[in-house]
Amino acid sequence: PFSRTEIFSGKAVTHEDIKYEQACVLYNLGALHSMLGAMDKRVSEECAAGAFTYLRDHFPHSYSVDMSHQILSLNINLMLGQAQECLLEKSMLDNRKSFLVARISAQVVDYYKEACRALENSETASLLGKIQKDWKKLVQMKIYYFAAVAHLHMGKQAEEQQKFGERVIYFQSALDKLNEAIKLAKGQPETVQEALRFTMDVIGGKYNSAKKDNDFIYHEAVPALDTLQSVKGAPLVKALPVNPTDPAVTGPDIFAKLVPMAAHEASSLYSEEKAKLLRDVMAKIEAKNEVLDQFMDSMQLDPETVDNLDMYNHIPPVLMEKCAALSVRPDTVRNLVHVFPVGWEGGLMTPRAQVPRSPASQCLDCRVPASGCPQPGSPPGLAEVSKECSKYLELHEKASFTNTELHRVMNLHLGNLRLLAPDPAPPPDDKQVLQNLKRILAKVQEMRDQRLSLEQQLREMIQKDDITTSLVTTDRSEMKKLFEEQLKKYDQLKVYLEQNLAAQENVLKALTDANVKYAAVRKALAEVEHKWNTTVQTLVASYEAYEDLMKKSQEGKDFYTDLEGKAAKLLERARAACQASEAHRQQLLER
């Protein structure tokens, strides 16, 4: 059982119904809102009628008298009337048009008339007792007062329209209603009496001035009030919405973990519906992804290396290292050229020329006699010189071959050291093909990223989707309808995914067309890359061959220096042998 005390009678009321407890909490919430509204500044049109309206529309009225339909209607219209008063005051301070102010004031009158009807109900009167009379008198005073304000502004509108007869009757009606309000205001606080006196000064002054002007200047007929169109109220206030299931209003649900078994079962069914939705969507995504992956694998297109042009903007690190090593040795090429030895054919031919070419010494010209043995009577020195000269010439011939080969290798590497790298820039048409291909590949990646993002959003949304609270308060017969309504929240995300999947066919078609045009460009770029890599390897090889060239050139230089010394000695011996041969020949002639 839940027990509460009626607000007016003071009697205890008990019901074995949780809804009664909820109704009492809502009633007190409405009372609290009314107190906060009375304490707040009169600048907001929101009011405390929301809790009372929800209570009247969603709960039985038989729990207690203070929660009867009449009492709740009284409370609602009192709250709405006071909220409309706040709006009226703001409109007057903002100098709104007279007709609008009149309509707002007329709506205040309408709200208070509804409240007055609820107060005049017999049940309400018996419940409230003396309070009923005081409240009814105050509400009636407000009805007359705000009716006077409404007619005051209707008279001001007639004045603006130069309808001077209507102006008089509106101001006269306003004055009459204000006098009625003053009669009903006896016993009200001094602040109310002061407001009434101020209003009387305004309306009385307006009426006297209007009547005098019409009597002496305009002479318009003054129509009867009931012949004029009544002022229709403009309801511009709203009840402060109250939703007992909104955590912003009620705070965290203290019974959140107390879920009936039926709600658990329904939650499992809803989870299966979500899983089915996810399976359907993922099947479509995976099918499209498989097609996309196979297509991209067959194309062998990597967006990062479609053209490889960036690699030509920088010297490879291995080559930079060799350049740095050479930069500290600026005379590298000149030293290599200067160290290369010159031919020695003339030096070796000199001693051979010293040998006479007479018939008697033909064997010396051939360095070895035709018979394979020295001629009788030949000087032994000439045979030795000729033999040694032949030995040096043979060495020289071998060295000349090595010298020529070394010279060729040196010239090859000298050229590489001075080589200018090839220009890899493609023609303008090829650039357009590359740009188009890159753009479409970027579209493919964008499509992939968007698809993955949408998939993650869907998974997160499904994971966080918990409707247990709604299931607890939903009848079993309404579960299917609730599921359908809840699953609609995924429709927009599914639309985005369908659009993404549908776009794949067009994107791949465009990529196919672009790849056809790219084929010739790809071949040209492959050739440029091969040439570039070959050049880099050759340049590195030239650097690494430099030390070997220098060593071999120095060995060649040393060899020719030694050969030069031996040739010089051979020359002296050849001269001596020739002189001896000449003397021997002279002796033979003298005989």
Look at residue 259 in the predicted model and tell me its pLDDT. Answer: 80
- pLDDT, tens digit, 9 for 90 and up, residues 263-289: 888 889 999 999 999 999 999 999 999
Cβ 152 vs Cβ 202: under 8 Å? yes
Task: State mean pLDDT over 203-217.
Answer: 95
Element (H, E) at 3: strand 2-5
Find where tokens 């920088």 sit: 314
Tell me the two tokens of residue 523: 């071949």
| Residue 361 pLDDT exceeds 50 | no
Tell me the two tokens of residue 496: 């985005």
User: What's the chain's average pLDDT?
Assistant: 82
- Side-chain half-sphere CA neighbours of 401 within 13 A: 5
Look at residue 264 in the predicted model and tell me its pLDDT. Answer: 84
Task: State mean pLDDT over 184-201.
Answer: 95
Q: Would you list the DSSP string of 398-437? A: HHHHHHHHHHHHHHHHHHHHTPPPP--PPPHHHHHHHHHH
Cβ 554 vs Cβ 339: under 8 Å? yes
Torsional class of 424: left (φ above 0), alpha (ψ -120 to 50), beta (otherwise): alpha
Which residue segments constitute the domains of the chain, with CATH numbers given? 2-244 (1.25.40.280)
Residues 174 and 166: their CA atoms lie apart, in Å, by 12
Please tell me whether the overall predicted TM-score, pTM, comes out greater than 0.75 for this model: no
Single out the residue of 249, 236, 246 nearest to residue 30, CA to CA.
Answer: 249
Contacts for 381 with CB less than 8 Å, ≥ 6 apart: 573, 576, 577, 580, 581
| Portion of the chain with pLDDT greater than 70, in percent | 80
Cβ 461 vs Cβ 446: under 8 Å? no
- pLDDT, tens digit, 9 for 90 and up, residues 498-529: 999 999 999 989 888 888 887 777 677 777 77
Task: State mean pLDDT over 143-157.
Answer: 97
Contacts for 357 with CB less than 8 Å, ≥ 6 apart: 364, 365
- pLDDT, tens digit, 9 for 90 and up, residues 23-65: 999 999 899 988 988 888 776 667 778 889 989 988 888 888 8
| Residue 308 pLDDT exceeds 80 | no
Task: State mean pLDDT over 482-504.
Answer: 92
Name the residue with higher pLDDT: 352 or 290: 290
Long-range pairs for 470-478: beta carbons < 8 A, 24 or more residues apart: 471/263, 471/266, 471/267, 471/270, 472/259, 472/260, 472/263, 473/245, 474/266, 476/262, 476/266
Task: State mean pLDDT over 152-158.
Answer: 96
Tell me the two tokens of residue 159: 């004045």
Cβ 207 vs Cβ 168: under 8 Å? yes
Task: State mean pLDDT over 60-82.
Answer: 89
Look at residue 309 in the predicted model and tell me its pLDDT. Answer: 57
List, in sequence order, every residue forming a beta bridge with 13; answer none if it has no partner: 4
For β-strands 46-47 and 12-15, DSSP reports them as: unpaired
For β-strands 238-239 and 46-47, DSSP reports them as: parallel
With bands split at pLDDT 50, 70 and 90, how would you rate the model's confidence at 366? very low
| Residue 368 pLDDT exceeds 50 | no
| Residue 381 pLDDT exceeds 90 | no
| Residue 565 pLDDT exceeds 70 | yes
List, in sequence order, every residue forming a beta bridge with 46; answer none if it has no partner: 238
| Residue 174 pLDDT exceeds 80 | yes
CA dihedral 484, 490, 495, 497 (to 10 degrees): -130
With bands split at pLDDT 50, 70 and 90, how would you rate the model's confidence at 66? confident
- pLDDT, tens digit, 9 for 90 and up, residues 214-248: 999 999 999 999 999 889 999 998 887 888 878 88
- pLDDT, tens digit, 9 for 90 and up, residues 410-423: 566 555 654 433 44
Residues 275 and 487: their CA atoms lie apart, in Å, by 11
Residues 414 and 354: their CA atoms lie apart, in Å, by 41
| Residue 349 pLDDT exceeds 60 | no
Contacts for 88 with CB less than 8 Å, ≥ 6 apart: 101, 104, 105, 108, 146, 149
Look at residue 173 in the predicted model and tell me its pLDDT. Answer: 96
Amino acid identity of residue 257, one-letter, is K
Tell me the two tokens of residue 200: 């009387």
Q: Would you list the DSSP string of 175-198? A: HHHHHHHHHHTTT--HHHHHHHHH
- H helices of 251-339, in order, are 261-299, 317-327, 332-338
For β-strands 2-5 and 12-15, DSSP reports them as: antiparallel
Look at residue 325 in the predicted model and tell me its pLDDT. Answer: 67
Look at residue 351 in the predicted model and tell me its pLDDT. Answer: 55
